[in-house]
Structures are given as C-alpha cells and as structure tokens.
C-alpha cells in the first residue's frame, strides 16, 4: 500500500453511486466534492435542504459536470431515515455508503424517537440507514460501508444500563460512546458480511483533528482558546483523506481503520491505524448489534425486513 495518499490518488469514480451523510459541510462536504469531481453520482444526505443545495452549488461551481442529488435525511428521526433509505434504494446501484454525519458534545437532547442525541444520531441513525440499504449495497459488486469514528472512541464505553443517559449525562462521555459504537458496528458488520459470503466491505476511518463546524457546541469558556486550537488542526480537505482512502483505495481490506499519520493521529496523510481493544470486543459488539435492532426496529440481516440482506 503506497505511503502517500492525496486527492489525486482517488481513482476515477464514473459509474459509481455514493451516499454521504452530512455532506453539506466539513468532512462530508470535502468527500462529496472529491468524489463528485471524480465522476461519481453523489447523493447528498442532509437534514437541511437549504444547506444541501448550497453545498451542491459550490461543488457544481468547481465541477460543472458533477452529478448530485439531494436526499433529505435527518438521522435523529427513524421515519426520516426510513424515507431516505427508501428513496436511495430506488437507485440502480449503491457502491458506497459513507456514514459521516455527526454531532459532538451538545447539551443533553433527545432524537424524535427518544434516544440520547449523540448515540441516536452518530450510531443508531447510521445503523438503521445501513441496515435498510444493505440489500442494495450487497447487490452492487465490491460495495463499501465507510463509517467515520474518532480518536475519542478510546475513552468510550457502551453504557448498556443507561443507554439514553437518563440518569446521568456527560457530553464528552456520550460522544466517546457513540464513536466507539461506530467502530464496534463496523467490526460486527464486517464479520457478518464475511459469514454471509458477501463482497461488501465495512471499513472505518477518522479525520484526526480537523477545523470544521463540529466544534459548534464547545462551551463558551473554550472560545478564547479556539484560535490556539485551530493552529493544531488540519483543514477539512486533509481531514477527509482518511475517509477517501477507506472509501476508494483498492488495497483496503474489510474491518480496517484509517486515520492521519502524524502527531498522535491528529494530522497528516491517511494511513492504516489501530483502533483500541474495546472496539474489538466480540461480546460487546454482538450486544450492541442486538440492542440497535431492538431500538431501531431494523434488522440488517432479516430477509423479511423492507430492505434487509
Ligand atoms: N472535525 C474533527 O476534528 C473530527 C474529529 C473526529 C471525528 N470527527 C467525525 O467526523 C464526522 C464529520 O464531522 P465534521 O467534523 O465534518 O463536523 P461538521 O462540520 O459539524 O459536519 C457534521 C455534518 O453532520 C450533519 N448532521 C448533524 N446532525 C445530523 C442529523 N441529525 N442528520 C443528518 N445530518 C446531521 C451536519 O448537518 P448540519 O450542518 O445541518 O448540522 C453536518 O453536515 C463526524 O462523524 C465526527 O464525529 C470529526
């Protein structure tokens, strides 16, 4: 596998259909810009139609021939996830699903279905979306599901006793839990795809520390040091490279995890990195999978499901 990977390394994407969640800004936008520029048909899965069309227009200004569709998707509503999946399933093929959208350290909020919002949006919404689209992905040769995690997963623990943080809520703790869930999900999905003999790959990545809108919930006391923090970050375009490598490098193997190579994975070109041992815990991964089915009502492997395996 070559050491360096840049936007120029992304192969031609003509003929491929790609769904990116949270594609209107940050890492998702940069990934959409590159993939649409390389010829993919890109579905911009966004909760704000206004922001989504502004992103589409920005990309089109750079790549006038880019093929993009707006897909209304609020990961904080299972009904919206179902509607978006039903629409995406109408596509002829689905080569790549990038589970990118995320929120970080908001005050305690609940999704439309009563889930704690970080676990609900970052993990459960993506679990349901992937489950509902798995049949479509599996019907497309060598498709991939790329899920964006974070180095924050290393501090994560799945709180099975208080999943929705009704007893106590730590903003950072729940963010870490959701990002650990992203990795547990990737590993469990990959194991199940292999067991089913599917050639779809489940891969994870993280953008290091990138200067995006993810910091919107930073507490006000942190604002004075924001310019200092910014000096330690990389651009969203650099932050999108691990996603692009996980999504398109032909040498990627299912279950791998990609992130920046320098300064404790905070910045730098994308390489294969190591997730922590907790993300490889088979028992916790199985328990999380079952819990996610119970909470979302989506069983990715249920042939009776609307769009299961
Ligand atoms: N930036 C970093 O340093 C960093 C580090 C580690 C991991 N990550 C991960 O990278 C991913 C992308 O984050 P980012 O840095 O690009 O953040 P960002 O600039 O805040 O972008 C997040 C995207 O997610 C969307 N989103 C949020 N809630 C949603 C919902 N309920 N339904 C649909 N879309 C929703 C946002 O839409 P709106 O604009 O409408 O809110 C936005 O498009 C996240 O998974 C994050 O955890 C980022």
Per-domain boundaries in the chain = 7-296
Q: What is the pLDDT of residues 122-168, one digit of tens each?
A: 999 999 999 999 999 999 999 999 999 999 999 999 999 999 999 99
Output the pLDDT for position 226.
Answer: 73
Overall average pLDDT of the 270-280 stretch: 97
pLDDT of residue 230: 77
List 29, 175, 257, 258, catalytic entry? 175
- Work out the pLDDT band at 3, boundaries 50, 70, 90: low
What is the spatial distance between Cα 203 and Cα 284, in angstroms, rounded to a whole number? Answer: 18
pLDDT of 212-255, one tens digit each?
888 787 777 777 777 777 778 999 999 999 999 999 999 999 99
Q: Which fold has domain 7-296?
A: Rossmann fold (3.40.50)
Dihedral (Cα; 107, 112, 116, 122), 10-degree rounding: -90
pTM: 0.96
**What SS3 class is residue 144?**
strand
Q: Are the CB atoms for 92 and 81 separated by under 8 Å?
A: no
Whether residue 308 has pLDDT greater than 50: no
Residue 309 — very low, low, confident or very high, per pLDDT cuts 50/70/90? very low
175 among known catalytic residues: yes
Contact 101, 77 (CB under 8 A): no
Residue in 21, 25, 102 to alter for ligand 1 test, most ligand atoms within 8 A of Cβ: 102
Pocket of ligand 1 contains residue 68 by CB under 6 Å: no
Cα of 99 vs centre of ligand 1, distance in Å, is 10
Q: Distance (Å, rounded) from C-alpha 158 to C-alpha 125?
A: 16
């Amino acid at each position: 596998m070559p050491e360096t990977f840049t936007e120029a390394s992304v192969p031609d994407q003509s003929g491929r259909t790609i769904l990116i969640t949270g594609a209107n800004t940050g890492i998702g936008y940069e990934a959409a810009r590159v993939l649409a520029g390389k010829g993919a048909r890109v579905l911009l899965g966004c909760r704000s139609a206004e922001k989504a069309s502004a992103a589409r227009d920005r990309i089109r200004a750079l790549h006038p021939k880019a093929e993009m569709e707006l897909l209304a998707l609020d990961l904080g509503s299972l009904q919206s996830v179902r509607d978006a999946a039903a629409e995406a399933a109408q596509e002829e093929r689905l080569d790549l699903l990038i589970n990118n959208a995320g929120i970080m350290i908001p005050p305690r909020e609940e999704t439309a279905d009563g889930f704690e919002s970080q676990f609900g949006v970052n993990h459960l919404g993506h679990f349901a979306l992937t489950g509902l689209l798995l049949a479509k992905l599996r019907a497309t040769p060598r498709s991939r599901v790329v899920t964006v995690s974070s180095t924050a997963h290393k501090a994560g623990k799945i709180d099975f006793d208080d999943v929705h943080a009704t007893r106590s809520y730590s903003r950072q703790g729940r963010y870490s839990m959701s990002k650990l869930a992203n990795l547990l999900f990737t590993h469990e999905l990959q194991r199940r795809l292999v067991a089913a003999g599917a050639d779809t790959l489940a891969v994870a990545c993280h953008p290091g520390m990138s200067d995006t809108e993810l910091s919107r919930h930073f507490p006000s006391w942190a604002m004075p040091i924001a310019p200092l923090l910014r000096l330690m970050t990389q651009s969203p375009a650099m932050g999108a490279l691990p996603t692009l490598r996980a999504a398109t490098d032909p040498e990627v193997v299912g279950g791998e995890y990609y992130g920046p190579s320098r300064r404790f994975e905070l910045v730098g070109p994308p390489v294969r990195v190591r997730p922590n041992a907790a993300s490889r815990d088979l028992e916790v991964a199985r328990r999380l999978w079952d819990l996610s089915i119970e909470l979302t009502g989506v069983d990715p492997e249920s042939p009776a499901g609307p769009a299961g395996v």
